[in-house]
Structure 1
Amino acid sequence: MAKVTVRYWAAAKAAAGVAEDAFDAATLAEALDAVRARHPGELERVLRRCSFLVDGDPVGTRGHETVRLADGGTVEVLPPFAGG
């Protein structure tokens, strides 16, 4: 298991009530499961619309269970942004 930091932005930050959390997870799917367990409710709905960066790289359409996390890594949770 990797120790990772999950950072929340905009609506995700508001729904989580914190700017970031630390989790032990081997994959992005495991990290997001831990996020949902820690912050049930509104954040779960927000996550459905989010995109994710893992250590600065966009996850895109890859399956979250295939995205491995590195120890000390960072997952950025990015809700859709309005404007341009």
Structure 2
Amino acid sequence: MIVFASLIKKLIEKIMKKNSKYIYFDHSATTPVLPEVVKEINDCFTFYYGNASEPHSPGRKAKEILEHSREVIGKSLGAKPKEIVFTG
């Protein structure tokens, strides 16, 4: 979880250096995915597969990872965690 969050922070910093006006995150399936991202996402799918909306143990862990990621992304962008919306 911490590795994933720090990876997100590094990627945001890298993108911001290239284009400080905005970051477009809605690439869907049309954009190549960095190998580091594939590894972290695969770990989440393998070990933390719970539905973040469910109260069971895997769901609570998934929600913890989701909310931590929201906080890290928010801090990296200068936004509040509640302003970060995940779609999919």
**TM-score if structure 1 supplies the norm length?**
0.29
**TM-score if structure 2 supplies the norm length?**
0.28
Q: Which structure has more RCO (C-alpha within 8 Å, separation ≥ 6)?
A: 1
**Which is richer in helix?**
2
